Amino acid sequence: MDALIGKAIPQLEASLRFREARQAVLAANVANIDTPGYRSADLKFEDALGAAVTLSRSHPAHLSDAPEAGSAYRLELGPRGTRPDGNGVDSDRAMIQLSRNAGAFSDQAEVLARLLALARIAVTGEPR
């Protein structure tokens, strides 16, 4: 139960926050697809995931092992563009990243919804 509700839910929440933040960064790439000199950006997840998995309470007074959203994200700038206007956004790549990230968000939100439904059953003892 603790593994299911106690760990998975905060991890999913952290992941959803990350996906949402990343989506904004990817949206900015698409909006600036024709802006001279713009370098594409991406938000990296590895650190955030690592923090979510390894964080543990070293003191009983500590609140939760859910990482602070945003604290472990790393913004990476892409290479300078080779186009004449210096824009570095690869439009196909940008669209694929955007779609995959949004899909992952929706999938994880669905998993979280189901976990919470399970937790509700565990608490109330009856399915809705």
Q: Summarize as ranges the residues that interact with another protein (CB under 8 A).
A: 16, 19-21, 23-28, 30-36, 38, 41, 43, 70, 73, 75, 91, 94-95, 98-99, 102, 105-106, 109-110, 112-113, 116-117
Q: How far lies 77's CA from each of 7, 38, 40, 59, in Å?
A: 32, 10, 6, 37
As measured in angstroms, the least distance from the Cβ of 19 to another protein is: 8
As measured in angstroms, the least distance from the Cβ of 59 to another protein is: 26
Between residues 8 and 30, which has the closer beta carbon with respect to another protein?
30
Between residues 55 and 115, which has the closer beta carbon with respect to another protein?
115
Tokens of 69: 């959203």
**Angle at CA 39, nearest 5°, toward 81 and 50?**
125
Between residues 62 and 114, which has the closer beta carbon with respect to another protein?
114
Tokens of 48: 């955030």
Which residue in the block uniquely carries the two structure tokens 């472990």?
72
